[in-house]
Amino acid sequence: MNEISCPVCLDLIPLVKDAVASSASRQAVLQHIRECASCRQVFEVSGPDKPQLNDKRVITLLRRKLAFAIGFIVTLGALIGVGLSDSSLVFYNSIIMPTVGALGYVWLRRKSYLVPLLMLPFVYVWYLCKYLLGGEIQLQVVLLGPLFWGLIYAGLGAIGTLIAFLIAFALGKEDEPNAQIS
């Protein structure tokens, strides 16, 4: 029989209540409070046991919230980038669009190729509407202008996706335990 003293039991009670004590410590505290009225009173006064945290559920919830936030930032970044196209700040798109592509890689991992692919029709439709609503009448400008901008922005997004992939690949190689330097 493994009995513990009252001071040890009192030290372990908060750990048992927080569900961080080992199973052996938990059993020792429960056995001790069956026999010791003063420690039992401290145990009961300290409140009910906290529910066990489901780590997988918490991680899944955090990942879902993080994915939503990154998706929002990717969408907002693409909108800001396209919105800057008509201003003197258009050259900031050389930073914004690769960043959108890199965040798209963080967001979608294996399906990150979708970010530049979806950027092409998004930018094309944006410019097509802009040209048509702006009264542009030349068919060549209306059809090829949006395609030109769409390809540029999709290319910049693809560059960002590629850079993020290469960084993740390089960092992943460093974590391998048996990585050999030749």
Residue whose token pair is 């950027």: 119
Alpha helix ranges (H) inside 5-91: 6-17, 23-35, 37-45, 55-83
d(CA 139, CA 165): 39
Q: What angle do CA 54, 25, 1 make, to 5 degrees?
A: 140
- Inform me whether the pLDDT recorded for 54 exceeds 80: no
- Inform me whether the pLDDT recorded for 61 exceeds 80: yes
pLDDT digits (tens, 9 = 90+) for 4-38: 999 999 999 888 888 888 989 999 999 999 999 99
